[in-house]
Copies of this chain bind each other. A is one copy, B any other.
Amino acid sequence: MSADIAAIRQFNRTVTRRLGVLNEKYLGRDRPLAESRILFEIGSKGAPVRELRERLGLDSGYASRLLRALERKGFATTASKAGEDGRAKFARLTRSGHTEVRRLNALSDDLAQSMLEPLTREQAARMVSAMTEVDRLLRASGIELTPVDPRSAGAQWCLGRYFDELSSRFPEGYDHGADGATDLDDFRPPRGCFLVASLFGGSVGCGGIRTLAPRMGEIKRLWVSPQVRGLGVGRRLLEALERVGRERKMRRVRLDTHESLTEARHLYRSSGYKEIAQFNDNPYAHHWFEKTLE
């Protein structure tokens, strides 16, 4: 275990030295690195200022200043989107901003190339596959679960994605209205809890637990963003929700699922859930599960 920690520290040292040097050399050449980073984050489709700040971990004043600098240089514009919250602003790249991002992308490619160059073909292949693995697992380990109000922006965003996905995966489609009007307040303390999984300031999953009856909980709305599937986020959410249930003195938790959601069914089975008889009249449920909490 302590050998693991030594290995991670060694990795940390090497990587920050090597990437730090290269990043500055390639991307911070004639402009502050923070400006390049924010240009990247805006991306071709633009992004809400709010999100830029969160993703890069910037103070709102500082973020504003950087955007203003980009505006002065003619690389980006920010404006509030018509129809949406007029306070929130949205940053977009201008034409020359796009050009600039392409230039940065080319530099970034050179940077990557320069890391491969000195290696033999075999070493390069091994490095790339190890990097892919580290990237995957580092993202997994960077995901944090936070209890939030189910009406909060993050929770709402996840639920939106979740319902979209149900519509596209259920052969019969999905109508949120028909899904027995679930009261969001059920997922707020003290009757329940709603968790959001987040990575680098963005939401990548959610799940809620509510009280069905005394000592009996129900888990619903368990969703994991496609970009982080296979990293064990679903299981972490499930286990965290069960922990909440235990704290609330629940003895059993139930949940239901649609036939087409096979990964979910697999997750539930392997987490100790047993299939039981139908316990509700959810028109989209085909399987009903229950687990006794220790």
- For chain A, the bracket of interface size reads 35 or more
Asked if A127 meets B118 with Cβ closer than 8 Å, knowing A18-B142, A132-B7, the reply is no
Copies in the complex: 2
Asked if A143 meets B118 with Cβ closer than 8 Å, knowing A133-B126, A137-B123, the reply is yes
Across the interface, name the chain B residue whose C-beta is closest to A57. B21
A69 within 8 A of B: no
Across the interface, name the chain B residue whose C-beta is closest to A123. B137
Asked if A134 meets B137 with Cβ closer than 8 Å, knowing A112-B5, A232-B123, the reply is no
A293 within 8 A of B: no
Report whether B112 and A141 are in contact in the complex, using a CB–CB cutoff of 8 Å. no
Report whether A10 and B134 are in contact in the complex, using a CB–CB cutoff of 8 Å. no
Binding site secondary structure of chain A? helix
Report whether A14 and B135 are in contact in the complex, using a CB–CB cutoff of 8 Å. yes
A116 within 8 A of B: yes
Q: What B residues does A115 contact at CB under 8 A?
A: 8, 138, 141
Q: How far is the CB of A179 from chain B (nearest CB, A)?
A: 31
A117 within 8 A of B: yes
Which of A4, A8, A57, A113 is packed against the most chain B CB atoms within 10 Å? A8
Question: Residues of A with Cβ closer than 8 Å to B?
Answer: 4-5, 7-12, 14-21, 23, 57, 108-109, 111-113, 115-120, 123-128, 130-135, 137-144, 200, 232, 236
